[in-house]
Amino acid sequence: MKQRVFTVLMSCMIAWLVLHDACVKDKCRVVVCDNGGVCVGGVCACPGGYEGTTCSKTWNEKFAGRWQVADSVARDNIVRYKYEITNNIGNSRDSFYITGFADTASIQIMCTRQAYRIFKIPEQKIDTFLILKSGTGTLDSVTGQIKGSYAYLRKTPISNTATKDTTVTVFFSWRRQ
Protein backbone atom coordinates (compact mmCIF):
# COMPACT_ATOMS: atom_id res chain seq x y z
CA MET A 1 0.00 0.00 0.00
CA LYS A 2 2.78 2.41 0.91
CA GLN A 3 4.50 1.70 -2.38
CA ARG A 4 1.27 2.32 -4.30
CA VAL A 5 0.69 5.67 -2.56
CA PHE A 6 4.29 6.61 -3.20
CA THR A 7 3.97 5.69 -6.89
CA VAL A 8 0.74 7.66 -7.26
CA LEU A 9 2.25 10.71 -5.54
CA MET A 10 5.39 10.57 -7.69
CA SER A 11 3.28 10.19 -10.85
CA CYS A 12 1.17 13.21 -9.86
CA MET A 13 4.27 15.24 -9.07
CA ILE A 14 5.89 14.39 -12.42
CA ALA A 15 2.65 15.18 -14.27
CA TRP A 16 2.38 18.51 -12.44
CA LEU A 17 5.97 19.44 -13.31
CA VAL A 18 5.48 18.56 -16.97
CA LEU A 19 2.22 20.50 -17.22
CA HIS A 20 3.61 23.44 -15.25
CA ASP A 21 6.66 23.76 -17.50
CA ALA A 22 4.42 23.61 -20.56
CA CYS A 23 2.53 26.67 -19.27
CA VAL A 24 5.63 28.83 -18.78
CA LYS A 25 6.23 30.83 -21.96
CA ASP A 26 9.78 31.12 -23.27
CA LYS A 27 9.99 34.82 -24.15
CA CYS A 28 13.25 34.26 -26.02
CA ARG A 29 11.99 31.45 -28.25
CA VAL A 30 11.25 33.75 -31.20
CA VAL A 31 13.81 36.50 -30.46
CA VAL A 32 16.95 36.49 -32.60
CA CYS A 33 19.84 38.64 -31.42
CA ASP A 34 22.58 39.52 -33.92
CA ASN A 35 26.30 40.16 -33.42
CA GLY A 36 26.65 38.06 -30.28
CA GLY A 37 23.67 39.55 -28.46
CA VAL A 38 21.92 37.41 -25.85
CA CYS A 39 18.17 37.26 -25.26
CA VAL A 40 17.15 37.99 -21.66
CA GLY A 41 13.44 37.99 -20.86
CA GLY A 42 12.49 38.53 -24.50
CA VAL A 43 14.87 41.49 -25.03
CA CYS A 44 18.32 41.43 -26.63
CA ALA A 45 21.26 42.39 -24.43
CA CYS A 46 23.82 43.68 -26.93
CA PRO A 47 27.62 43.47 -26.67
CA GLY A 48 29.63 46.70 -26.59
CA GLY A 49 29.40 48.73 -29.77
CA TYR A 50 26.05 47.26 -30.87
CA GLU A 51 22.51 48.41 -30.16
CA GLY A 52 18.94 48.19 -31.40
CA THR A 53 16.17 45.69 -30.76
CA THR A 54 18.19 42.88 -32.39
CA CYS A 55 21.75 44.25 -31.85
CA SER A 56 21.99 44.85 -35.60
CA LYS A 57 23.13 48.50 -35.47
CA THR A 58 26.56 49.76 -34.51
CA TRP A 59 26.83 52.53 -31.92
CA ASN A 60 28.51 54.93 -34.34
CA GLU A 61 25.80 54.73 -37.06
CA LYS A 62 23.71 57.45 -35.41
CA PHE A 63 26.51 59.99 -35.88
CA ALA A 64 27.34 59.26 -39.54
CA GLY A 65 26.49 61.80 -42.23
CA ARG A 66 26.81 65.49 -42.99
CA TRP A 67 26.35 68.05 -40.23
CA GLN A 68 26.01 71.84 -40.22
CA VAL A 69 28.16 73.00 -37.32
CA ALA A 70 28.12 76.19 -35.26
CA ASP A 71 31.24 76.74 -33.10
CA SER A 72 31.35 79.60 -30.62
CA VAL A 73 33.89 80.92 -28.15
CA ALA A 74 32.92 83.18 -25.25
CA ARG A 75 32.61 86.82 -26.40
CA ASP A 76 33.21 85.77 -29.99
CA ASN A 77 31.16 85.46 -33.13
CA ILE A 78 29.72 82.11 -34.14
CA VAL A 79 31.70 80.37 -36.85
CA ARG A 80 29.91 77.89 -39.10
CA TYR A 81 31.47 74.79 -40.61
CA LYS A 82 30.32 71.68 -42.39
CA TYR A 83 31.56 68.39 -40.99
CA GLU A 84 31.45 64.98 -42.55
CA ILE A 85 31.22 62.15 -40.04
CA THR A 86 32.51 58.79 -41.20
CA ASN A 87 32.42 55.47 -39.43
CA ASN A 88 35.48 53.36 -39.66
CA ILE A 89 33.58 50.20 -38.76
CA GLY A 90 36.43 47.95 -39.83
CA ASN A 91 38.55 49.31 -37.01
CA SER A 92 36.01 49.91 -34.25
CA ARG A 93 32.28 50.03 -33.58
CA ASP A 94 33.01 52.44 -30.73
CA SER A 95 34.49 55.34 -32.68
CA PHE A 96 33.94 57.66 -35.62
CA TYR A 97 35.93 60.33 -37.42
CA ILE A 98 35.18 63.99 -38.16
CA THR A 99 36.43 65.37 -41.46
CA GLY A 100 36.47 69.15 -41.85
CA PHE A 101 36.87 69.79 -38.11
CA ALA A 102 37.22 73.57 -37.55
CA ASP A 103 37.79 73.96 -41.28
CA THR A 104 40.73 71.55 -41.42
CA ALA A 105 39.95 69.67 -44.63
CA SER A 106 42.74 67.12 -44.52
CA ILE A 107 42.68 66.17 -40.83
CA GLN A 108 40.43 63.51 -39.33
CA ILE A 109 39.52 63.88 -35.67
CA MET A 110 38.71 60.65 -33.83
CA CYS A 111 35.77 60.50 -31.41
CA THR A 112 35.15 57.56 -29.09
CA ARG A 113 32.15 56.13 -27.29
CA GLN A 114 31.51 57.36 -23.76
CA ALA A 115 27.84 56.34 -23.39
CA TYR A 116 24.77 55.55 -25.51
CA ARG A 117 24.37 59.07 -26.96
CA ILE A 118 27.62 60.61 -25.75
CA PHE A 119 31.02 60.69 -27.43
CA LYS A 120 34.40 61.85 -26.23
CA ILE A 121 37.02 63.71 -28.24
CA PRO A 122 40.37 62.50 -26.84
CA GLU A 123 43.55 64.57 -26.95
CA GLN A 124 44.98 64.76 -30.48
CA LYS A 125 47.80 66.75 -32.01
CA ILE A 126 46.52 68.71 -35.01
CA ASP A 127 49.83 70.28 -36.02
CA THR A 128 52.97 71.75 -34.44
CA PHE A 129 51.09 74.67 -32.94
CA LEU A 130 47.65 73.21 -32.21
CA ILE A 131 46.63 70.42 -29.82
CA LEU A 132 43.02 69.37 -29.38
CA LYS A 133 42.93 68.76 -25.61
CA SER A 134 39.56 67.08 -25.06
CA GLY A 135 35.83 67.38 -25.58
CA THR A 136 32.44 65.71 -25.40
CA GLY A 137 29.26 65.77 -27.42
CA THR A 138 25.74 64.56 -26.68
CA LEU A 139 23.09 63.56 -29.21
CA ASP A 140 19.65 64.88 -28.23
CA SER A 141 17.13 62.09 -28.86
CA VAL A 142 14.28 64.56 -29.42
CA THR A 143 15.83 67.22 -31.68
CA GLY A 144 18.54 65.04 -33.27
CA GLN A 145 21.08 67.80 -32.64
CA ILE A 146 24.47 67.28 -31.06
CA LYS A 147 25.73 69.78 -28.51
CA GLY A 148 28.96 69.86 -26.59
CA SER A 149 32.33 71.49 -26.17
CA TYR A 150 36.02 70.94 -26.76
CA ALA A 151 39.21 72.67 -25.67
CA TYR A 152 42.34 73.24 -27.67
CA LEU A 153 45.80 74.53 -26.90
CA ARG A 154 47.30 76.99 -29.37
CA LYS A 155 51.05 77.54 -29.26
CA THR A 156 51.86 80.96 -30.68
CA PRO A 157 55.56 81.56 -31.45
CA ILE A 158 56.84 84.67 -29.67
CA SER A 159 60.50 84.12 -30.48
CA ASN A 160 62.72 81.51 -32.11
CA THR A 161 62.74 79.43 -28.91
CA ALA A 162 59.55 80.31 -27.04
CA THR A 163 55.80 80.02 -27.55
CA LYS A 164 52.82 81.51 -25.80
CA ASP A 165 50.30 78.82 -24.89
CA THR A 166 46.63 79.70 -24.98
CA THR A 167 43.84 77.28 -24.05
CA VAL A 168 40.48 77.98 -25.68
CA THR A 169 37.14 76.31 -24.97
CA VAL A 170 34.73 76.06 -27.89
CA PHE A 171 31.02 75.28 -27.59
CA PHE A 172 29.38 73.58 -30.55
CA SER A 173 26.01 72.64 -31.94
CA TRP A 174 25.56 70.24 -34.87
CA ARG A 175 22.47 69.92 -37.02
CA ARG A 176 21.99 67.32 -39.77
CA GLN A 177 22.03 68.69 -43.30
pLDDT at 89 exceeding the cut of 60: no
Grade residue 9 by pLDDT with cuts at 50, 70 and 90: low
Residue 19 has pLDDT above 60, yes or no: no
Tell me: do 102 and 51 sit in the same domain. no
113-135 pLDDT per residue, tens: 999 899 999 999 988 888 999 99
Per-residue pLDDT for 139 more than 80?
Answer: yes
Looking at the fold, whether 133 and 169 belong to one and the same domain comes out as yes
**Residue 79 located in a structural domain:** yes
**What pLDDT is attached to residue 1?**
59
Q: Please say which residue of 55, 70, 97 terminates a domain.
A: 55
Tell me: do 31 and 80 sit in the same domain.
no
What is the pLDDT at residue 91? 62
How high is the mean pLDDT of the chain? Answer: 83
Domain that holds residue 148: 62-176
Secondary structure (H, E, C), the chain: CHHHHHHHHHHHHHHHHHHHHHHCCCCCCCCCCCCCCEEECCEEECCCCEECCCCCEEHHHHHCEEEEEEEECCCCCCEEEEEEEECCCCCCCCEEEEECHHHCCCCEEEEEEEECCEEEECCEEEECCEEEEEEEEEECCCCCCEEEEEEEEEEEECCCCCEEEEEEEEEEEEEEC
What average pLDDT score do residues 57-86 get? Answer: 80
Whether 2 is in a domain gets the answer no
Query: Given pLDDT bands bounded at 50, 70 and 90, which one contains residue 85?
Result: confident
Domains in the chain, number: 2
Residue 16 covered by a domain? no
**pLDDT tens digits for 91-102?**
678 888 888 777
Same domain, 73 and 123: yes
153, part of any domain: yes
| 95 plus 133 within the same structural domain | yes
What is the predicted pLDDT for the residue at 161?
Answer: 86
Which of 55, 74, 104 finishes a domain? 55
